[in-house]
Amino acid sequence: MTEADTITGKVYDIQGFSVHDGPGIRTTVFLKGCPLRCPWCHSPESQAFKSQLCYMDLRCIGLKSCGLCMPLCPNQAITPGACSFSQAQQTDIQTIQLDRSKCTDCGLCTDTCYSKSLFISGTDYTIEEIVERIRRDEDFFKSSGEGGVTISGGEPLCQAAFTIGILKACREIGIHTAVDTTGYADTAVIEKVLPFTDLFLYDLKHMESLPHKKVIGVPNEIILKNAKHIARSGGKLQIRIPIIPGFNDSPENMDETARFCAALGKSVTVVQLLPFHRMGSVKYQRLQQEDPMPSTDPPTAEAMQEHLKHFTALDLNVVIH
């Protein structure tokens, strides 16, 4: 039995024809689990390391038409919920209510949910299964000239053996590899990943450790250390900086971030400034979690142009994404 048969990883999504996760057309594999707790996270289902039940009430066709999920739940976590107007059925329907305090994420209820309003986020795959899925898109990689696979998350380096196995297998068959990482990992893990990674999509969130830990839950020293290590080792970095109003958008932090990127030298292929957006809000509802940033507005176009100047002043290749 080979390593590809025995090592498994927990994946919450696989996106083909992805054009925002590295150069060219890519297949992005999203792994579960992250040690950071960014309040602006647009994929809260990526944070927990376990599989989780998600509920999209807009998909529910109602108890009158279905209701098969309720008797399947061994913990009586699913009960009749509120009545509301259904755009699809053009009438009031009664949907379900999910009690998270009783739910164990067993997934039994999803077996008969024809509308897929109940679904599990987090499926175990072997390396071989993932590589087989990636290979279906090889023609797209080739047609775009520089496409390939991106391992993302969550934090993919938390599932290091699984991530390395996929990267190694892809390298062996000539597929370009990228890792989308927070950089929050042991440097020893970075060293193991480096030989099989053509590009690191690397997040920088704040240059000061105290606010970084206060808001995100972890300090930033190891993140900055690992970025320097990748640069010194000859790795390539695509730096990603989320612009979060009130957190990291001060001129002082922007200036320090730009100087840090410039010091990494030619290893930095591009710096991406990513304005905060609210597209992840609906995902918190699926997990019955409160949106951590309900009243934060995205930065204005004018503000983004001001942030851009800190990087162009140092001759960095920078874009607003």
Amino acid in position 117: S
Using CA atoms, how far residue 269 sits from 11, 68, 183, in Å, is 28, 52, 17
Say whether 54-121 and 3-50+124-320 share the same fold.
no
Angstrom distance (rounded) from CA 112 to CA 118: 9
Q: Match 């009749």 to its residue by tokens.
A: 80
Percentage helix, strand, coil for the chain under 3-state DSSP, each rounded to 5: 35, 25, 40
- The per-residue pLDDT for 54 is 97
For 234-255, letters b (16+ CB in 10 Å) and e give ebbbbbbbbbbbebbbeeebbb
Thinking of the domain 3-50+124-320, which architecture would CATH place it in?
A: Alpha-Beta Barrel (3.20)
CB 166, CB 145: distance < 8 Å: no
pLDDT of residue 282: 87
pLDDT of residue 88: 78
Query: Which CATH architecture does the domain made up of 54-121 adopt?
Result: 2-Layer Sandwich (3.30)
Quote the CA–CA distance of 55 and 180 in Å, as a whole number: 27
CA 175 to chain centre: 21
Q: Which of 71, 89, 88, 70 is nearest to 80 (CA)?
A: 70
Tokens coding 314: 């140092």
Structure tokens belonging to residue 3 = 């390593």
CA angle at 45 for the pair 42 and 47, rounded to the nearest 5°: 90
User: What is the predicted pLDDT for the residue at 1?
Assistant: 52
**Tell me: the pLDDT tens digits for 55-78?**
999 899 999 999 999 999 999 999
pLDDT band for position 320 (cuts 50, 70, 90):
very high
**294 has pLDDT over 90:** no
- Condensed to tens digits (0 to 9), the pLDDT of residues 80-125 reads 999 988 887 889 999 999 999 999 999 999 999 989 999 999 999 9
Which pairs with CB-CB distance under 8 Å and at least 24 residues apart come from 259-267? 259/314, 260/204, 260/207, 260/224, 260/227, 261/204, 261/311, 261/314, 261/316, 262/314, 262/315, 262/316, 264/227, 264/228, 264/231, 264/237, 264/239, 265/231, 267/230, 267/231, 267/234, 267/235, 267/236, 267/237
Question: What token pair was written down for 268?
Answer: 């930095």
Q: Is the pLDDT of residue 5 over 70?
A: no
Quote the CA–CA distance of 297 and 245 in Å, as a whole number.
Answer: 8
Q: How many helices (H) and strands (E) does the chain have?
A: 11, 13
- Could you tell me the residue ranges of all domains in the chain? 3-50+124-320, 54-121
- pLDDT digit string, tens, across residues 175-186: 999 999 999 999
Nearest to 276 by CA among 246, 305, 239, 306: 246
Nearest to 242 by CA among 277, 218, 213: 277
pLDDT tens across 11-53, in order?
Answer: 999 999 999 999 999 999 999 999 999 999 999 999 999 999 9
pLDDT over 90 at 158, yes or no = yes
Mean predicted lDDT score pLDDT of the chain: 95
